[in-house]
Chain A
């Protein structure tokens, strides 16, 4: 079993109005030392090894569905777990 933690965020060139709204709200809460907030998506995928390498399949999942590569980038961490 593998636990794959996938993080999807906007590319640097893309506006992130939701992140800006959170940034502004944090400032209103008094955290004026917050300089930047990026709002993204986090996925936890549990999977088992098939014929192909897990990383290859995760790359495909991200490219095809989990991220829109026009405007988002992704990174992931794969950890091996004991079988459930």
Chain B
């Protein structure tokens, strides 16, 4: 399985992601430029964390107009897996690929710590390696990770089991403790916690591996487009 990791000016978790994919999971992974216009040949796209375009205007608001995002939209529309971590999640909401928005943390502080999550839905291609309702430990590092959506959207998310991860101890004020959501089609996931920072014991947790392992297991039959 071959992964593309788009790099925007200001991305800073791109190498962490590629290291997790290549060195730990033994997958093919390429860093691709934000100016890339095609993602042909890739089986999955992961938008990494960071501060794309300096978070000017709003987190993810400018990255959304990078040429690669046109390709990411087409990739997602074709039903292929797309994941956004942290700033990647913010970009996916700004691009309209996921509902809702990420606003400033309730405490107005940047939060960098390990957070405990519940795998709310393990019937997805991003979470099938976890037991239902499993508790996992993943690091968070964000100033604007407070997930917001209106009541109508929340009802839709709940009805379609789109809430994949929830915080146990809501650190940032997110609506309904939401840490990660997917689209209705089930092929686009966004989450604030960083699974790529929890893939080796020396990092303090290996609980992030399950997300990648789920994705790899679900897509192993896929041949390159």
Q: Which residues of A contact B (CB under 8 A)?
A: 10, 13-15, 17-18, 20-21, 41, 65-66, 68, 70-71
Contact = CB atoms under 8 A, between A and B. Distances in A.
Interface residues of B, number: 19
A65 B57 CA distance: 9
B149 A17 contact: no
Given A15-B106, A17-B104, A17-B107, A68 B61 contact: yes
Nearest to A16: B104
Main secondary structure of the interface of A (DSSP, over half): mixed
Nearest to A69: B101
Interface of B: 57-58, 61, 65, 93-94, 100-101, 103-108, 146, 148-150, 173
A40 B224 CA distance: 46
Given A70-B100, A70-B148, A71-B148, A17 B105 contact: yes
B108 A17 contact: yes
A15 B105 CA distance: 9
A18 B104 contact: yes
Given A15-B173, A65-B57, A70 B104 contact: no
Given A65-B57, A65-B61, A70 B108 contact: no
Main secondary structure of the interface of B (DSSP, over half): loop
A13 B94 CA distance: 19
Contacts of A18: 104, 108
A71 B104 contact: no
Given A18-B108, A20-B108, 4 more contacts: A17-B106, A17-B108, A70-B100, A71-B148
B148 A21 contact: no
Contacts of B108: 17-18, 20-21
Nearest to B59: A68
A10 to B, nearest CB: 8
Most chain B CB within a 10 A radius of its CB, from A14, A15, A65, A70? A70
A1 B107 CA distance: 43
